[in-house]
Amino acid sequence: MLEVVASIANLRERLLPMRRAGKSIGLVPTMGALHAGHRRLIERARQQNSAVVVSIFVNPLQFDRNEDLARYPRPLDDDLTCCRELHVDFVFTPSAAEMYPHEQLAIVDVPQLSEHLCGAHRPGHFRGVATVVMKLFQIVQPERAYFGEKDAQQLAIIQRMVEDLNLPLTIVPVATVREPDGLALSSRNRHLNEEQRQLAAILPTALQAARARIQSGERSAHVIQTAVAPLFDRHPGLRLEYFSLVDPQTLAPVSYIDRPVLIAAALWIGSTRLIDNLTVSPIENGQPPLSSPRTSTATEAPPAKLRSP
């Protein structure tokens, strides 16, 4: 039986006897506008825990543009229906005043993982994410928390936060859910018109093209970036923010691909920003690389520079 709780004190009061009884609590932090990707997170939480808490909070601290915050979708009734179907126990729907009763002076940050990829284009975003996730963890005190792999940088930052700050919980990453044409599910997809929705498939297509090149033996990040770039020049409504090959843990740019690499991209379609990523392991079976190795390691490599294939 779903309970909707808006107050921190009430939620804690409801969860305390469960924790005392040794029952495991799974938390799925969301900003609402739940789609099949969220459903996958909730289903996983349902399988692994005695009680499931879904938080729905559009966190002002992580938005760098007020317009984006204002137009972020908030279909609460649909979200509650979804949570009921999936046998969620508690939906936590705090107001901004409940979460931030006065100026938030204490912050959590993982600066070195926040400077690359999306962080380079959204200053303060991941500090806002880490801070609100820390608050949710302290309020709910879950045994497990569920995050989608679509937000790869967020996932890496939260995992590092949990590890470095000794938080007593496990982060469970959940695979990205995709449309038939490969587009990753996102609450922002609903902002796309029909033509933009068609165009959006270019993002997973480019990621798959990059993966195919690595699996064919290409080792130069720059060669791969140069090869996929023209895909995004086909339409004036597309603007590529970044298409990067980075170390999956440190998120530092990789130039020579000799170990698993995260390929991550952000693409503007009109005024909507979409992100996506894949993790790829280079093939190890003696296939000769198309580019020669560099002396620097993947984790310490400088950003990819121009180099002939």
CB 273 within 8 A of CB 190: no
Q: How many residues bind its own copies (CB under 8 A)?
A: 29
What is the spatial distance between Cα 43 and Cα 140, in angstroms, rounded to a whole number? 18
What is the spatial distance between Cα 16 and Cα 185, in angstroms, rounded to a whole number? 34
What is the spatial distance between Cα 209 and Cα 227, in angstroms, rounded to a whole number? 9
What is the spatial distance between Cα 182 and Cα 184, in angstroms, rounded to a whole number? 6
If the CB atoms of residues 91 and 139 are measured against its own copies, the closer one turns out to be 139
Cα angle vertex 159, ends 302, 34, to 5°?
110
Q: What is the DSSP string of 162-215?
A: HHHTT-SSEEEEEPPPB-TTSPBP-GGGGG--HHHHHHTTHHHHHHHHHHHHHH
The minimum distance between CB 227 and its own copies, in angstroms, equals 33
If the CB atoms of residues 167 and 199 are measured against its own copies, the closer one turns out to be 167
Picking from 75, 82, 134, the residue whose alpha carbon sits closest to that of residue 107 is 134
The minimum distance between CB 181 and its own copies, in angstroms, equals 37
If the CB atoms of residues 167 and 269 are measured against its own copies, the closer one turns out to be 167
What is the spatial distance between Cα 34 and Cα 55, in angstroms, rounded to a whole number? 11
Considering the candidates 35, 38, 87, 102, report the single residue annotated as catalytic. 38
The minimum distance between CB 24 and its own copies, in angstroms, equals 13
Would you state the structure tokens that stand for residue 230, as one six-digit string?
């023209």
Of 105, 180, 236, 306, which lies in the binding site for its own copies, with binding defined by CB under 8 A?
105
Pattern 231-270, binding to its own copies, x per CB under 8 A?
----------------------------------------
Considering the rule CB under 8 A, would residue 97 count as an interface residue with its own copies?
no
Considering only residues 119 to 148 of the shown chain, the ones binding its own copies according to CB under 8 A are: 130-131, 134-135, 138-139, 141
Pattern 14-53, binding to its own copies, x per CB under 8 A?
------x-x-------------------------------
Instruction: Give catalytic status of residue 38 as yes or no.
Output: yes
278: number of Cβ within 10 Å: 18
Catalytic annotation, residues: 38
Binding interface with its own copies (CB under 8 A):
8, 12, 20, 22, 104-113, 130-131, 134-135, 138-139, 141, 160-161, 163-168
